[in-house]
Amino acid sequence: MNQYVTLSLESHLFFGRIMKEHALFLMAGFPAKNEAFIEKADWYRAQFEDLLAQAVKISNGTIRQGVLKSGEIFTEYTIKAEKSTSCLTGISIDTCITEDEMKLVPGDKMTLNREQSQLMARRVRMLNERALELVTGLICLKEEILEAMTKCKIYNSNYPLLIRHIIREAKLYKETITELNTKGYICSRNLKAIEKFWNQIMMEHALFIRGLLDPSEEELIEAADAFAGDYKKLIREAREMDCRTMDGLTRRTIEETVRYREFKAAGTKGITECRIESIILPLLADHVLREASHYLRILQSEAKR
């Protein structure tokens, strides 16, 4: 299968879902008086939901097995988390998309002739252009919300750091699709830069989890705090290394991320089963679990090179 098609669709299946959930989390965090912001966030939520649905429709037989099995596109908890979050917030979530994703078969199961390949490439380019338009607008909305929050003009239950966090993720999505549209492939990135970006994301997840758990959940708070400290240390150590000395640190980062993913999986299970006291939406728990799985796949892939 054409690398441009495969990498584009894999990006949409991961990041498209992440973006629609970002919009949902923003919506859920606003009080009723912020109707204009709620409507804007809801529009992006619906648009990214449609984008994701379109990507799923043309992804059968195009996605790599390692990506499909990684847990970054969906988890065993995703549908339950979606249903629970929709019930708790009143925000519509189309769980049929997740059900369709679970039926996808990997890229080695389909062969296209030249005409079919060209048609697929055109459809993917149109999807990419739509994604770029949407993510550019969503970045602007997030930046507008962040500016208003930091000037104490509006309230949102999400931390300002979380808004900065989701802006960075949206910019990475935009950079990825822009590069695919320009070059047709994704350049091999410096492993140090990859680890710097995602270790920062993982550290912030731990800080958010720590702050959203009920104070009575002392063991989980301590565990989240320890993960935040571990990733902070990895970030600091990476600054002092060059690309030639990163191998040992990458192995440790993989080990840390495996443990962290297990922690997040247990947390997602506990939250979806209402056994953990917190103000964490079930879909947010599943969201950060998928991001850990995405990072772990990248790390393991880079370590094999």
Q: What is the DSSP letter of 243?
A: G
Average pLDDT of the residues in 167-190 = 90
Instruction: Tell me the pLDDT tens digit for each residue of 221-246.
Output: 999 999 999 999 999 998 887 665 67
Same domain, 161 and 109: yes
- Two tokens, residue 89: 């917030």
Same domain, 193 and 183: no
- Structural domain boundaries enclosing 267: 189-305
Q: What integer best gives the mean pLDDT of the chain?
A: 95
Q: Identify the pLDDT of residue 269.
A: 99
Instruction: Tell me the pLDDT tens digit for each residue of 244-271.
Output: 567 788 999 999 999 999 999 999 999 9
The angle at the Cα of 169, spanning 168 to 175, to the nearest 5 degrees, equals 90
Q: Identify the pLDDT of residue 245.
A: 61
Whether the per-residue pLDDT at 190 is higher than 80: the answer is no
Q: Identify the pLDDT of residue 186.
A: 82
Same domain, 119 and 172: yes
Which pTM value belongs to this model?
A: 0.95
Q: Identify the pLDDT of residue 243.
A: 60
Q: Identify the pLDDT of residue 116.
A: 80
Same domain, 1 and 148: yes
What is the Rg, in whole angstroms, of the alpha carbon atoms belonging to the chain? 19
Q: Identify the pLDDT of residue 297.
A: 97
Domain annotation covers residue 242? yes
Look at the chain and report how many structural domains it folds into.
2
Same domain, 290 and 160: no
Q: Identify the pLDDT of residue 109.
A: 58
Whether the per-residue pLDDT at 302 is higher than 90: the answer is no
Domain annotation covers residue 35? yes
Q: Identify the pLDDT of residue 1.
A: 53
Domain annotation covers residue 80? no
Q: Is 90 left (phi over 0), alpha (psi -120 to 50) or beta?
A: left
Q: Backbone phi, then psi, for 110, in 5-degree steps?
A: -140, 140
Domain annotation covers residue 219? yes
Q: Identify the pLDDT of residue 110.
A: 66
Same domain, 214 and 126: no
* 241: CATH: 1.20.1260.120
Domain-terminating residue out of 164, 187, 210: 187
Looking at the chain, the number of H-run helices and the number of E-run strands are 12, 0
Instruction: Tell me the pLDDT tens digit for each residue of 111-154.
Output: 777 888 889 999 999 999 999 999 999 999 999 999 999 999 99
Instruction: Tell me the pLDDT tens digit for each residue of 96-111.
Output: 999 999 999 998 656 7
Same domain, 268 and 150: no
Instruction: Tell me the pLDDT tens digit for each residue of 268-282.
Output: 999 999 999 999 999
Same domain, 215 and 175: no
Same domain, 25 and 169: yes
pLDDT level of residue 67 (50, 70, 90 thresholds): very high
- What is the C-alpha to C-alpha distance for residues 86 and 24, in angstroms, rounded to an integer? 10
Percent of the chain, pLDDT > 90? 85
